[in-house]
Amino acid sequence: MPRHSRLVLPAVPLHVIQRGYDRQQCFFIDDDFVVFRQWLHEEAVIAGCDVHAYVLMSNHLHLLVSVDDAERLAGMMKGVTQKYAQYFNHRHQATGSPWDGRYKSCLVQTEGYLLTCQRYIEMNPVRAGMVRFPGNYKWSSYRSNAEGRRDGVVTPHSVYMRLGMNDSERRQAYMRLFQETLTPMQIAEIRAAANGNGVLGDKGFIASTPRT
């Protein structure tokens, strides 16, 4: 997977990863997840950023977002991570930052890749052996996207909206996607793009992406 500088393009979604310092835990108790999710929602609104999917794991988090420019994305991530760091240090009697430097991000081709990346994000707790089914994990967007539970953080992408004529059809179609397991190649491709601040897509999309 080619490595690119950090890019943000209008109308092109991004897969964002923020890890805990030295891969240590950054979420310990339910309150940790609750306050982070609330601040994520607030900062996304301020930045004009749409969050299509997310998962908060014990030592890292994934987001699938759409935003117009890099400054807005950086502002959202700075806002939520700084607020959480202050809360974390006070609540857990800690010092320093709970985060491992800056977030990583990669562009995601909309057609053919967005929903695959979204499934990858929401299946993280299953791959980690924390739950057997993504709907059993409280701290992800799966319950909103697949089960229709209210979640102020989530704004469905237009690709998701095209899955059906109404909410029920879309949820049913989305759940059916999870009947097909992501292949090792798909997982490796998603990880390589995200960890390398690269581009997730086909050869044509990667070739057409401007370099900075």
- State CA 176 to chain mean position distance: 21
pLDDT at residue 2, as a whole number:
44
Average pLDDT over residues 151-155: 97
Average pLDDT over residues 45-63: 97
Asked whether residue 2 is assigned to any structural domain, the reply reads: no
Number of domains composing the chain:
1
CA distance 134 to 173: 16
pLDDT at residue 174, as a whole number:
98
- Number of Cβ within 10 Å of residue 45's Cβ equals 15
Confidence of residue 211 (pLDDT cuts 50, 70, 90): low
Select from 13, 121, 114, 1 the least CA-distant residue to 61: 121
CATH code of residue 138: 3.30.70.1290
Asked whether residue 127 is assigned to any structural domain, the reply reads: yes
Compute CA distances 99 → 9, 27, 39, 93, whole Å: 25, 11, 16, 16
CA distance 174 to 147: 9
Instruction: Give φ, ψ of 132 to 5 degrees.
Output: -95, -20
Confidence of residue 17 (pLDDT cuts 50, 70, 90): very high
Asked whether residue 8 is assigned to any structural domain, the reply reads: no
Output the pTM of the full model.
0.94
pLDDT at residue 4, as a whole number:
44
Asked whether residue 138 is assigned to any structural domain, the reply reads: yes
Select from 38, 40, 19, 27 the least CA-distant residue to 88: 27
Q: Give the tens place of pLDDT for each residue, 89-139.
A: 999 999 999 999 889 999 999 999 999 999 999 999 999 999 999 999 999
Check whether 210 has a pLDDT greater than 80: no
Asked whether residue 121 is assigned to any structural domain, the reply reads: yes
DSSP 137-169: -SSBSHHHHHH----TTB---HHHHTT-SSHHH
Owning domain of residue 25: 14-207
Give a three-class secondary structure readout of 52-86.
EEEEECCCEEEEEEECCCHHHHHHHHHHHHHHHHH
Check whether 149 has a pLDDT greater than 80: yes
R_g (Cα) of the chain, nearest Å: 16
